Chains A and B, each alone.
Chain A
């Protein structure tokens, strides 16, 4: 317990510093706006010296950004979709005339699923390539490795994965959900609609599932009526034998199996659940870690009937998303599927473009200051807005998995949920 207290102290002290830092920022946009009025974003190309005072790789007709994901190693499976989405966004932005009249050029680096490599490549992108922004990272571990680098060299990172929260930086825009956005509304839904009273929590054994489950447990025990957690269990990454926990589920008969199992373990978990005769039409399974990408490996027939809680599903029925899915498949093939993180990665270049145009500058300080309040009405997930804590306001949705590997959206929060990376009472 004492270590937890220590942690929350350091978090709140960094938060305080950040807030103090942010308090000084409002002066900056005023200057930026002055620039914006003299050079309307689309009408003409502003002079490079005006929009780039910090020596970034911006020429009169090109601006360079970095793409930093794993294309080799164990994470390549997950990060491929992010890379594809970012390249698609860049291509579309270029087709529309680029950013402040400049075409986006990208330098892609391979983090190789290795966290020190991520840090090294981030430094290379910022120091040598002078990129104006980095789209990248996937695991929290890689983000934590890159964070001090982007802060030291004052870069801008657009980070696409839903994650555990407890972080905020002037130099990062978090385009995925933080933990409370993803978890709380989903749990409320499952109690309301599925009459879930008893919960069994299962996760892979590392920081994201553990932090998420901590938040889930606090919510179940503290905020949901007459609900309890009847079991909580973590398995090593890559674990493939879930017979024991399945036996426990059979004995304790929880109303809801709440899962955050990641990667290849997912396949084993759901295949064994099905083989053990657990009927997902009778027992509710709600997961926060299975997207369309994972179902590819699990097999639609093994996952059908389970519920997934995310902000985005490929099957979302709105015009923005129809365009996005069509463009994505046109560029990367009919058989590709689009998961939550892929969509969040797609937001990165767009949000950056809009922020640059609002700030009228590529300078990182001005972008960081101009980010809060940026709205993206053409987002495939519908509509997003950047909060002053650099996370996105977003909806949470629950999808029911179908046999063909797609989700049928059965619930979405009516309003955008305010991001709260340092949730009080949940840490």
Chain B
């Protein structure tokens, strides 16, 4: 399979695929960060995660329409406004859902699976009724299109770079929030021992609500970013949910570092295999290796190294 290419070609292949892998890594990480908080920290199996992403995507779509129609001069920066609005919308919906539903289920983590699955169906139908069944596409400002040529075959896509930068910023922000801030300490205290945390004066209900809201808000940002590469329809969220859980579980659910490492491993493996094998085969092989590794290490790859 290597013999079809010359040495020079092979080296550009690895550079290109490495870069494609990095974009995939950013995408995976962006999808998984919100879930890592909700599932990893709170133990809620949130099957509606994809629908929170799609809400962010719809918000981005409507923001772009608004800018196009009312303030076309500022269209080039609409994306930043859209991301903030997506975060607020998904986060607010997340907090509402937590208050209505999730908080009654903390003692029954498996039931959260069913409840959030139902929620995802409800949200899908809601999107379909309100926004229509057809997929919508978001127009990008021109500076986000195109690519920077490095050599004549190797080109770096600008929106890929943008997603990467965004992922880095959000990952750092989440890490600081969880491990450096007072609020992060409270979250981890509540996760470890709810009674004790409550006894030392932490308002556990409030912490729960904001944590869930934060996870959903990050999903909204991810959805906003995905409008650059994918389409937005009522059921698009379903496309992401399996990969997202895969990344989080493989990494070791409670570890942020694990999530990063697992997103990196899966994306690079898949990207490289995709070049030499076919797309479907690469996906199957990736899934198979994840299954095998999880059989050997059910707790996930990186859980031990992390402070809990």
Contacts and interface: CB of A to CB of B under 8 A. Distances in A.
Contacts of A77: 133-135, 233-235
A274 B145 contact: yes
A72 B121 CA distance: 10
Contacts of B88: none
Contacts of A205: 279-280
A240 interface: yes
A299 B9 CA distance: 33
Interface in A72-90: 72-74, 76-77, 80
Given A72-B125, A247-B20, A296 B145 contact: no
A267 B135 contact: yes
Central interface residue in A235, A241, A248, by most chain B CB within 10 Å: A241
Contacts, number: 131
B17 A238 contact: no
Contacts of A343: none
Interface string B128-148: 100001111111000001110
Interface string A318-354: 0000000000000000000000000000000000000
B283 interface: yes
Interface residues of B, number: 50
A238 B137 contact: no
Interface string B213-249: 0000000000000101111111110110000000000
B177 interface: no
B149 interface: yes
Contacts of B257: none
A233 B236 contact: no
Contacts of B136: 296-297
Given A244-B271, A247-B13, 20 more contacts: A76-B234, A77-B133, A77-B134, A233-B279, A239-B283, A240-B27, A243-B19, A247-B20, A264-B135, A267-B231, A271-B228, A271-B229, A274-B145, A277-B155, A296-B134, A297-B134, A297-B233, A298-B137, A298-B231, A299-B139
Interface string B257-268: 000000000000
A238 B229 contact: no
Contact of A264 (B239, B278, B280): B239
B149 A277 contact: yes
Interface string B267-308: 000010011001110110000000000000000000000000
Interface in A192-209: 205
B159 interface: yes
A299 B137 contact: yes
B70 to A, nearest CB: 19
A299 B230 CA distance: 11
A234 to B, nearest CB: 5
A277 B271 contact: no
B160 interface: yes
Interface of B: 5, 9, 12-13, 16-17, 19-20, 23-24, 27, 125, 128, 133-139, 145-147, 149, 153, 155, 157-160, 226, 228-236, 238-239, 271, 274-275, 278-280, 282-283
Given A77-B134, A267-B230, A251 B153 contact: yes
B230 A268 contact: yes
Nearest to A271: B229
B146 A275 contact: yes
A293 B228 CA distance: 19
A418 interface: no
Please list the 7 inter-chain residue pairs (A to B) with the smallest Cβ-Cβ separation, ordered nearest first: A267-B231, A243-B20, A297-B135, A244-B274, A235-B279, A238-B239, A299-B137
A374 interface: no
A154 interface: no
Interface residues of A, number: 40
A296 B231 CA distance: 10
Central interface residue in B5, B146, B159, B278, by most chain A CB within 10 Å: B278
Interface string A226-263: 00000001111011110111011011000000000000
Contacts of B19: 243
A275 B147 CA distance: 6
A247 B275 contact: yes
Given A236-B283, A251-B13, A267-B230, A241 B135 contact: no
A301 interface: yes
Interface string A298-313: 1101100000000000
16 contacts: A72-B128, A80-B134, A205-B279, A233-B279, A234-B278, A238-B239, A240-B239, A243-B16, A243-B23, A247-B16, A247-B20, A247-B275, A248-B275, A268-B229, A296-B134, A296-B135
B274 A245 contact: yes
A72 B24 CA distance: 31
A48 interface: no
Contact of A268 (B16, B17, B231, B282): B231
Nearest to A293: B134
Nearest to B228: A271
Contact of A302 (B5, B27, B137, B226): B137
Contacts of A297: 134-137, 231-233
A34 interface: no
Central interface residue in B5, B153, B280, by most chain A CB within 10 Å: B280
B133 A76 contact: yes
A74 to B, nearest CB: 5
Given A80-B134, A251-B9, A297-B137, A244 B147 contact: no
